[in-house]
Amino acid sequence: MNALKQAELRALAARGVQVPAYDRDRVGIGIVHFGPGAFHRVHQACYFDDALVNDPRWGIAAVSLQSSGVRDALGPQDHLYTLAVLDETPGMRVIGALKEVIVAPESPSAVSERLANPGVALVTATVTEKGYCLRADGGLDLSHPEIAHDLAYPSAPRTLIGHLCAGLARRHASDIAAPNIVSCDNLADNGPRLRRAVVELARRQDADLARWIEDEVPFPRTMVDSITPATDTALREVVADRLGVLDRWPVQREAFSQWVIEDCMRGAQPDWAALGVTISGNVAGFERTKLRLLNGAHSSLAYLGLAAGHETVAQAMSDPAIASFVRRLMIEDIAPLVVAPRGLDVPAYIESILRRFRNPALRYQLVQIAGDSSQKLPFRLLGTVRDAVDAKRPLDRLCLPIAAWFQFIRRKALRGERAVDPLADQLFEIAVACTGEAEHDVRAFLALDRVFPASLAGHAELVRGLSAAYELLQQRRQP
């Protein structure tokens, strides 16, 4: 079977596959993106692929901060890949917006050179919550080993923050206009958090650079949404059968896709409105609503579904007890504490989320959602818990998914396994010391101050609620 390449596009179009509707040879690079994983390739890259139909400036140079996997897979196929939309009306589309992939550890100078190119007007990022190297209070963790490296070797950085500082320093020194730096990760106030981290690192290196970044570089808040299961063998086989060519790394998502960006950017930009992107002065409302309702419910499904022996989101949603619990959690515990943006019908939004979760065409593995949970929980569930404590609202339902996470970590430790998590070693040590006595185990997890602030860890009612939920899960293994 031939590989997916530029030369195959005409034949693919004849098979009814959507292919780039523009001349890829005319495409320039106007975007540098950090973290070319599945979500970027199903989401931002798809929007920019649409933009290229009318404006050839918006090709993407992707930067991989760790692995060469994306480059090695997509380079031989002219950086083309297939997007499979798996929903009631399925479809296949070849995306052509990606022009190059730079593997940062192999050539950090190539990253800063690309960032300093005057044609680059947008820098985007999907590096997950852990890629920001933040402390619990939101500041840059200067004790983080990778940040310490970037401070010692600013011309050979390893982190997103270090690379942004290096690239911005070159632009500033050459009097090149600042780009818009657009975080697309699931952090509350993602733009300001990224801005703070970059400024804090820059201040340690060059006070004048830090002032320029503060004054000139926009870091808009954003909200992004599209359910994106990991690529598996089944997807590769479906794509190969439909296209008649081999795609080494296709990606998949549901039909729904949303992108909201704060109205603070400057200079050259795509025609956002034509692309279906919402430019808003209240991204925080969209962002918090989505993080708490969709992402909070997703994580709850993952921990509770795994405890009940399910593998995928759709399977967990087919369990009446779990589906009913998650619906009540959203309606009765999360929604009353969400300040939604004007015009958003929250009950209808909740029902649309539940419909998306039930989509049988997507095999979204629960273990994928459960990864990196120490970084996700503060944004997805603990913010709601904190607001519930302040409002003196009941905590029982909110405690159950958190206790299920504790149980998830403990079950893995009992098998001698570590979780996929930046705090894997600490979590393993806590879990192996667990006795099964609920309050003892709960207090041990709550002592993890990089996840639980002291105001929550010492809250008596929360400790009682988590202990009761932990004991219930040990007995029943389901809500």
pLDDT at 475: 85
What mean pLDDT comes out for the span 64-86? 97
pLDDT surpassing 90 at residue 56: yes
Say whether pLDDT at 127 is over 80: yes
Is the predicted pLDDT of residue 479 greater than 50, yes or no? no
Q: Which fold has domain 289-476?
A: N-(1-d-carboxylethyl)-l-norvaline Dehydrogenase; domain 2 (1.10.1040)
Tell me the pLDDT of the chain averaged across its residues: 96
For residues 77-101, give the mean pLDDT. 95
Domain with residues 6-281, CATH architecture: 3-Layer(aba) Sandwich (3.40)
Q: What is the mean pLDDT of residues 403-410?
A: 97
Least confidently predicted of 85-89, 336-340, 417-421: 85-89
pLDDT band for 88, please (50, 70, 90 cuts): confident
Give the mean pLDDT of 221-248: 95
Q: What tens digit of pLDDT does each residue of 142-151 get?
A: 999 999 999 9
Q: What is the DSSP letter of 386?
A: H
Q: What is the per-residue pLDDT across 345-366, written as a single tens digit (0 to 9) for each?
A: 999 999 999 999 999 988 999 9
Which two tokens mark 382? Answer: 């603990």
Mean local confidence (pLDDT), 67-77: 97
Residue range 148-201, pLDDT digits in tens: 999 999 999 999 999 999 999 999 999 999 999 999 999 889 999 999 999 999
For 116, phi then psi, to 5°, come to: -85, -5
- Does pLDDT of 330 surpass 70? yes
pLDDT at 306: 96
> Does 449 score more than 80 pLDDT?
yes
Predicted local confidence at residue 188, as pLDDT: 87
The Cβ of residue 176 has, within 10 Å, a number of other Cβ atoms equal to: 16
Q: Which residues in the chain are classed under CATH 1.10.1040.10?
A: 289-476
Whole-structure pTM over 0.95, yes or no? no
Query: Please, where in the chain does CATH 3.40.50.720 lie?
Result: 6-281
* 261-320: pLDDT as tens digits: 999 999 999 999 999 999 999 999 999 999 999 999 999 999 999 999 999 999 999 999
pLDDT at 476: 74
Strand ordering across the sheet containing 251-253? 91-95, 81-85, 251-253
For residue 109, pLDDT over 60 is answered with yes
pLDDT of residue 478: 44
Contacts of 171 (CB under 8 A, 6+ apart): 115, 116, 177, 178, 179
Given this model, what pLDDT does residue 343 score? Answer: 86
Q: Is the dihedral of CA 172, 158, 114, 269 positive or negative?
A: negative
Residue type, 278: T
pLDDT value of residue 477: 57
Give residues with Cβ within 8 angstroms of 7, minimum separation 6: none
Q: What is the per-residue DSSP string for 335-385?
A: GGG--PPTT--HHHHHHHHHHHHT-TT---BHHHHHTTHHHHHIIIIIHHH
Percent of the chain with pLDDT over 70: 99
| Residue 458 confidence (pLDDT) above 90 | yes
